[in-house]
Amino acid sequence: METLADNHHIADHPSYATLQQAAEWFAMLHAGEFDAQEHAAWQAWLEQDNAHRLAWQQVENVMRKFQYMEDDAARQTLRSMGQGRRRVIKSILALSLLSAGGWGITRQPAVQQWSGIMMAQHTTRIGERRRMQLADGSLLWLNTASAVNIEYSTSQRHIQLVAGEVWVQTAFDTMQPGRPFLVSTRHGQLQALGTRFNVLDDGQRSHVAVFEGAVAIRLPQASQPGLIVQAGEQSSFDGISIQPAREADPAMDSWTHGMLVADNLPLPEFVARLERYRRGHLGYDPALSHLRIVGAFPLQDTDRALHLLEQTLPVHVHRLLPWWVTLEPRAS
């Protein structure tokens, strides 16, 4: 099964117990009541084993995203735990132990992408979707946390997808007939052949789903074979190879209507997709990985989407903090 989640070798992940220790130290350090003795104990633990340092880096990477949240009240939560801070910390840490087979985490763009995203002509925030009409009459939808550059010249119409996802409906070029309509990602280039299509860059691969007309995929090396994806099909490519075309996933079109359509979607993939529209952490207990999701869920109100999930599956939505939500097995 191909998923949007990042894949790393298990050896790159510290053990569950080591991550637990690192997360506890992290929470205590940032709760604001770390005395000199505790600080010395933390430093000794950190220097004791390279696995401890790796675990500390991993927890830091996960928690760093919270520093950019716009909700100051949420950031105040950890600083205002008061006398019960250690009890709350342990509850948080029970959910924040992240390993290759454990709780899902939000994917962040690679460091080298940030400059491109910051300089992009058009961007969207997390949870935002934007509809744009281009100079030739074509329509462009920009999905959550996405960035594009648009360049129209005398020789081509070019959309550079810097990050995220776009949906395109091309128009006949009456301004300068004959100009190709191109969409490029870090993994290759797409040429629209009179079409309506969707392009997603998940960091590891680019995915294209075609709903009208056709799209030609070309990889960076001219010697590498391309592929024409027809209406009703989708494919993906990573800069080296192109996957064979298969039936298009309706979810890659439904987001423009504000819905996440799941057709027998594995729960881990559902979480990965919905999490793109939320600030903070959305995770799941690995015991729920076998569940399959069917239905349509609103993207403008992801809390309502989670409530609908809770009503239809043996799942409990545990909201420890406003920005830290996990799906757990429902108690029988």
> How far does the chain reach from its first CA to its final CA, in angstroms?
30
Residue 149: phi and psi, rounded to 5, are: -120, 140
**What does the pLDDT read at residue 27?**
66
Give the start-to-end residue ranges of the domains of the chain.
Answer: 10-95, 111-252, 258-329
How far apart CA 324 and CA 283 sit, in angstroms, is: 8
DSSP 8-class letter at 196? E
Query: How confident is residue 325, by pLDDT bands cut at 50, 70 and 90?
Result: confident
User: CATH says 111-252 is which class?
Assistant: mainly beta
How far apart CA 285 and CA 323 sit, in angstroms, is: 17
Three-class secondary structure of residue 88 per DSSP:
helix
Residues in the chain: 332
How far apart CA 236 and CA 85 sit, in angstroms, is: 46
How far apart CA 96 and CA 24 sit, in angstroms, is: 10
How far apart CA 7 and CA 2 sit, in angstroms, is: 10
Q: Is residue 90's pLDDT more than 70? A: no
Range scoring the smallest mean pLDDT among 173-182, 198-207, 209-218, 320-329: 320-329
- The separation between CA 150 and the C-alpha centre of its own chain, rounded to angstroms, equals 23
Q: Is residue 314's pLDDT more than 90? A: yes
Question: For 8-31, b where at least 16 C-beta lie within 10 A, e where not — what string?
Answer: eeeeebbeeebbbbbbbbbbbeeb
- The separation between CA 18 and the C-alpha centre of its own chain, rounded to angstroms, equals 26
**What does the pLDDT read at residue 232?**
96
How far apart CA 119 and CA 227 sit, in angstroms, is: 31
The string of pLDDT tens digits covering residues 12-25 is 566 646 765 776 67
**What does the pLDDT read at residue 315?**
95
Pick the CATH number of 258-329 from 3.90.25.10, 3.55.50.30, 3.90.79.10, 3.40.50.2300: 3.55.50.30
Are domains 111-252 and 258-329 of this chain identical in fold? no
